[in-house]
Amino acid sequence: MSSRRKKIYEGKAKILYEGPEPGTLIQYFKDDATAFNAQKKAVLEGKGVLNNRISEYIMTRLNGIGVQNHFIRRLNLREQLIKEVEIIPLEVVCRNVAAGSLATRFGLPEGQALPRSIIEFYYKDDKLNDPMCTEEHITAFNWASTQEIDDMLALTLRVNDFLSGLFAGVGITLVDFKVEYGRVWDGDFSKLILADEISPDSCRLWDTVSNEKLDKDRFRRDLGNVIESYTEVARRLGIMKEMPTVIQGGVQ
Ligand code: TMP
């Protein structure tokens, strides 16, 4: 189905194909799941369909509050049309509750609320295991300008405020999440927009009452019921309509 098109880039969970017109790409969501820099791998049937749909929903809602992003429209179960951007080689992580690598690094109990939201930057390079970096590294190595860092901080906090509320409304705590940004050019001027995906692969989402994990930690930590949990996130967000087919049939 997608093989006729020119592949631009293949990542661990997604493929980018040439789009139908200049300045666009098609983002294809795979069922592949990886963790710990691809040391752990599996195919989770239906994950791509769920993440395509969940990311569409979140990007559309963010667009609605003026957070510009690369999403244009969903094309089918696994693909979305996106704007081509010049990706900033950073993973921007925002945390509200101690978990994962932050809990490990500073010896904090998982689940402890942080005194305030914390944003961290990681340099996107699998060979180096995505090392954490500071604003000094980012500007010295020209990955982004000081203005772009300020924009990323402000945008990520807006995304955090909005998504924390959105998830709280459906009984989910947004523990932390990762976003990526890309540059779009208008003549000599560029601006940053949100890119990549926002899905249970890139967020920690805990049921507010039980603290049950509804995200990729179920895969990372072998907790089982990964697809069921992603489906539950989609259901609570009210985007379940076409989901049952996915779970039962392994839809392409
Ligand atoms: P961490 O606690 O492992 O640093 O992860 C922080 C957040 O970033 C968590 O929501 C998962 C997400 N994340 C990604 O999206 N991709 C990655 O490669 C990693 C390591 C984390």
Cβ–ligand 1 distance for 204 under 6 Å, the answer yes
How many angstroms does the Cα of residue 84 sit away from the middle of ligand 1? Answer: 24
Least confident stretch, 3-12, 20-29, 186-195, 200-209: 3-12
Cβ–ligand 1 distance for 129 under 6 Å, the answer no
How many angstroms does the Cα of residue 188 sit away from the middle of ligand 1? Answer: 34
pTM over 0.85: yes
Q: What pLDDT is recorded for position 72?
A: 98
Residue nearest to atom 15 of ligand 1 (CA): 202
Q: What pLDDT is recorded for position 240?
A: 76
Question: Among the residues of the chain, which ranges form H helices?
Answer: 47-64, 100-106, 135-140, 146-168, 217-220, 226-236, 243-249
CA dihedral defined by 147, 120, 118, 36, rounded to 10 degrees? 150
DSSP secondary structure, 195-237, as one string: ES--STTTEEEEETTT--B-STHHHHTT-S-HHHHHHHHHHHT
Cβ–ligand 1 distance for 59 under 6 Å, the answer no
Q: What pLDDT is recorded for position 250?
A: 44
Question: What average pLDDT is seen over the chain?
Answer: 95
Residue nearest to atom 17 of ligand 1 (CA): 202
